[in-house]
């Protein structure tokens, strides 16, 4: 997979599905074309210094996040499986078993990767710092040395 930076006019002219909703187009400043084998799609975001993050979930299915946007996209079927308009800025994502943890500045959203639905939201008491995976548990580190432990197993 690769991303090719394009200008706004080229983005508007491309007859590809957009990874994120176009409702924020007035705020977007960066545009790209994503190429994955014979599949193409387009993406737009507002951060000048950051590129979207991609996480390979399975054959041809990727999780993609940047700014306040998150999506899961199937490049084989050429369709979006899930889209989230995040409340806080996207930080990173990690996959543990069949769960995806989407870390934002002030919350972590847990997605079931079999059903592609949100199964939990973990509010953070301070700004997010990092996630550490420890077998069936994750440690969510926040600033001010705050640690939240979360069991990833089926309850």
Parts of the chain with a pLDDT under 50: 155
Q: What pLDDT sits at residue 25? A: 58
Nearest in space to 20 (alpha carbons), one of 34, 4, 9: 34
Contacts of 36 (CB under 8 A, 6+ apart): 1, 60, 62, 75
Q: Give pLDDT tens digits for 106-144.
A: 999 999 999 999 999 999 999 999 999 988 899 999 999
């Amino acid at each position: 997979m690769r991303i090719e930076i394009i200008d706004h006019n080229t983005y508007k002219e491309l007859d590809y599905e957009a990874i994120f909703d176009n409702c924020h187009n007035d705020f977007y400043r960066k545009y790209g074309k994503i190429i994955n084998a014979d599949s193409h799609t387009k993406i737009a975001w507002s951060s000048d210094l950051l590129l979207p993050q991609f996480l390979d979930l399975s054959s041809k299915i990727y999780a993609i996040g940047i700014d306040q946007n998150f999506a899961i996209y199937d490049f084989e079927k050429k369709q979006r499986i899930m889209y989230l308009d995040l409340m806080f800025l996207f930080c990173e994502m990690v996959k543990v078993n069949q769960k995806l943890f989407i870390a934002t500045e002030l919350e972590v959203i847990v997605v079931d990767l079999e059903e592609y639905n949100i199964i939990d939201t973990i509010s953070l008491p301070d700004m997010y710092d990092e996630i550490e995976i420890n077998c069936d548990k994750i440690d969510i580190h926040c600033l001010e040395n705050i640690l939240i432990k979360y069991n990833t197993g089926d309850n």
